[in-house]
Amino acid sequence: MLSEFNKAIQLRFNLLRECTFFSFREATAYAGNNYGNMLSTFFYMTTYLVFIGAIFNKIKTVAGYNYGEILLLTLVTQVCFYIVWSFTISNTDLLARNVKSGNLDLWITRPVPLLWFVTFQKININSLLMDAIPATTPLVILVINNFKEPILFVNLLSGIAVMIMGIVISHCFQFILNLSCFWTGENQNMRNLAFELGFFGDAIPFEGYSPNFRKIGMLFIPSMINSALATSVILGKNSNPITLPVIFVLMIIFMWLNIKIWNLALKHYSSASS
Amino acid sequence: MRFQTYFDSLVLGIRQVSNYRAEMWLGLVTRLIGLVGLLVLWIIIFSENQSLNIKEIISYLLIANSVRDAIDALHLKLSKEFINEIKMGTISSHLLRPINTKLFFYFRFAGSRGIGLVFDFILLTIGIYLNPPKSALGVVLFVVSIVIASGLAYCFNVFVGTLSFWTTEASGLRNVANHFLKVFSGSMVPISYFPDLFKGIILLSPFPVLSYLPATFISGRDISIENIQSLIMSVIWLIGLIPAINYLWLKGIKDYDAVGI
């Protein structure tokens, strides 16, 4: 029994390693486009900082957050964005394309854990190295220069835990919406919608939302957990002891839903060869 | 006969979009969510700073964003048509026809924008209702600025799309242009919020006319000399950009290696 379990874990680990190496080789084959993407993310960050700078040129705080705290929120949001972009968006796009073209047939017939495979088929490590580092470096420097308040170690750890669980929730949310491709075939706008919801209000502090909106947001707008709530916990603005357990339960529910809807979607899959 | 070709391409665009109605509505919902996110942020900012007028800024954001989308300076979607056609080599068949390829793409794309334009008109109407025009001059300047902005947006789209003749994949460059336009057109934050020196430089660029100037003129809030100078600068940019993109396009076609030809 234990040996079976070990084998399953080993298989998943091997898949993860091979997918990462293959994705890296694939990404480095298109160097020109990589530079284009790097330029794009760098410009995005620069223009975003100009936007925040323009707002704080007129005002002192946003929902109680000063310039330094808003920069920290932006940094957390960016870290989440790059992780979700590299792991989730690459794979949801690929899955939708494979379902539409029938290429999923190639994998369904193989002895691999399919959900695990389609979740980690394309790991865009290149994007993390080439896009995230140049784009977030100016932001990190700005945070260091403008952030004055001390951060408690326990808050930092709790915040990182909320962020990681929030990223898992965000992944499940995007993945579940993307599974509509099994029913509709074409679902580009559904993926766009999932992305827009997943990064809704990326500059809005958690305390800026009304209490009711926060409750709705925790369930339907996952970006509120991985960036806004995580930053609030790091800054010590949210010291509610039930926050971590609630987010943990939410993560388990989203993961369970992910598996259930995936199994349902597979039943609806019209194979290209049948 | 020649105009009929462009009209037919417009109708073709409308038919193509109407085949994917659910996708079309999802696209609108996605846009609305993005806009709601921006509005929520500004409402939070204004709730803490009572000296600023919340009605004015919501009106501004609605008008600025609806105008920017209506003239296709929001996502430069027309440039995507160029990029895809050049990348896949399907542009070859269009180049062989006795038509203006750039205009053909423009009209075909325009046909696919029907519902989006209706949505923009609704947002524009709400924006104007919240903060009605205060002078006839403002309305005239609004109309003039929209005409100039449409021409400039077309130039930006063709410029970005034409770059595909030299790079295999220009989507990264398109994103760069999108980010640039997002902030410097004033659709996220009014240009009047920038420090004076920075604001002066932006007003000399061709970007403010895409959002900031129309939204400012229609509200009649700030028909200042510097904004009218910025409008005149936009005309100069337009006059300069039209021959520049035509030259670039012709050069791109000369460098283009069509598959099978």
- Report the residue of A44, A52, A61 to disrupt the B interface, i.e. the one with the largest count of B CBs within 10 Å: A44
B132 has a chain A CB within 8 A of its CB: no
**Rounded CA separation B98/B148 (Å):** 28
Residue in chain B nearest A197 by alpha carbon: B33
Residue A200 has a pLDDT of 79
CB B45 within 8 A of CB A62: yes
Instruction: Using 50 as the pLDDT threshold, list the residues of chain A that sit under it.
Output: 274
Rounded to the nearest angstrom, the minimum Cα separation between B6 and chain A is: 27
A183 at B interface, C-beta within 8 A: no
User: Of the candidates A57, A188, A204, which has its C-beta nearest B40's C-beta?
Assistant: A204
Q: Give the 3-state secondary structure of A103-117.
A: CCHHHHCCCCCHHHH
User: What digits encode the pLDDT tens for the residues B7-42?
Assistant: 776 677 666 666 666 767 777 788 788 888 888 888
Residue B222 has pLDDT above 80, yes or no: no
Packing angle of the helix pair A67-84, A133-146 (nearest 10 deg): 160
**φ, ψ for residue A65, nearest 5 deg:** -95, 130
Place of tokens 């993945």: A175
On whether the CB atoms of residues B243 and B155 are closer than 8 A, the answer is no
**Cα torsion B167, B169, B174, B176: sign:** negative
Beta-ladder partners of A62: A65
- Asked if A31 is an interface residue toward chain B (Cβ–Cβ < 8 A), one would say no
The CB density around residue A91, as the number of other CB atoms within 10 Å, is 24
What are B131-162's pLDDT values in tens digits? 888 888 989 999 999 999 999 999 999 998 89
Average pLDDT over residues B58-67: 91
Residue B261 has pLDDT above 70, yes or no: no
Q: Is A102 left (phi over 0), alpha (psi -120 to 50) or beta?
A: left
pLDDT band at B76 (very low <50, low <70, confident <90, very high): confident
Residue of B nearest to A64 (CA): B48
Read off the pLDDT of each residue in B169-195 and give the average, rounded to a whole number: 83
Closest of A181, A190, A176 to residue A257, by C-alpha:
A176
Mean pLDDT over each residue of chain B, to the nearest integer? 84
Nearest of B161, B134, B127 to residue B245 by alpha carbon = B161
Nearest to A162 by CA among A235, A244, A238: A244
Indicate if the pLDDT at residue B212 is higher than 90: yes
Statement: residue B194 has pLDDT above 80: yes
Q: Using a CB-CB distance cutoff of 8 angstroms, which residues of chain A are in contact with residue B27? A: 189, 192
Asked if the model's pLDDT at residue B221 lies above 80, the reply is no
> Does B184 or A35 have the greater pLDDT score?
B184
Q: Do A54 and B189 touch (CB under 8 A)?
A: yes
Reference B172, options B61, B80, B55; nearest CA is B80
% of residues, chain B, pLDDT over 70: 89
The gap from C-alpha B137 to its chain's centroid, in whole angstroms, comes to 23
Amino acid at A116: W
Residues 6+ apart with CB under 8 A from A213: none
Mean pLDDT calculated for residue range B103-129: 85
Q: B32 and chain A: CB distance < 8 Å anywhere? A: no
Confidence of residue B202 (pLDDT cuts 50, 70, 90): very high
Burial class (CB in 10 A: 0-12, 13-18, 19+), A93: middle
Of B23, B45, B179, the CB nearest to A55: B45
For residue B175, the distance in angstroms to the closest alpha carbon of chain A comes to 6
Tell me the two tokens of residue A248.
């943990």
DSSP category for residue A104: T
| Of B26, B44, B183, Cβ closest to residue A50 | B183
Per-residue confidence (pLDDT) for residue B14, from 0 to 100: 67
Token pair of B27 as six digits: 């696209």
Note whether A48 contacts B170, CB cutoff 8 Å. no
Residue B16 in tokens: 């193509």
Q: How far is A195 from chain B (nearest CA, A)?
A: 9
Cβ neighbors of A201 (< 8 A, separation 6 or more) are A221, A223, A224, A228, B37, B40, B41
Interface residue A203 vs chain B (CB under 8 A): yes
Q: A32 vs chain B: nearest CA distance in angstroms?
A: 8
Q: In DSSP terms, which residues pair with A65 in a beta bridge? A: A62
Q: Is the pLDDT of residue B180 over 80?
A: yes
Inter-chain touch B194–A62, beta carbons under 8 Å: no
**Model pLDDT, residue A23:** 75
Amino acid at B162: T
Phi-psi category of residue A210: left, alpha or beta, with phi > 0 → left and psi -120 to 50 → alpha: beta
Answer whether B225 touches A (CB < 8 Å): no
Exposure string for B94-103, b = 16+ CB within 10 A, e = fewer: eeeeeeebbe
- Chain A residues near residue B175 by CB distance under 8 angstroms: 36-37, 40, 43-44
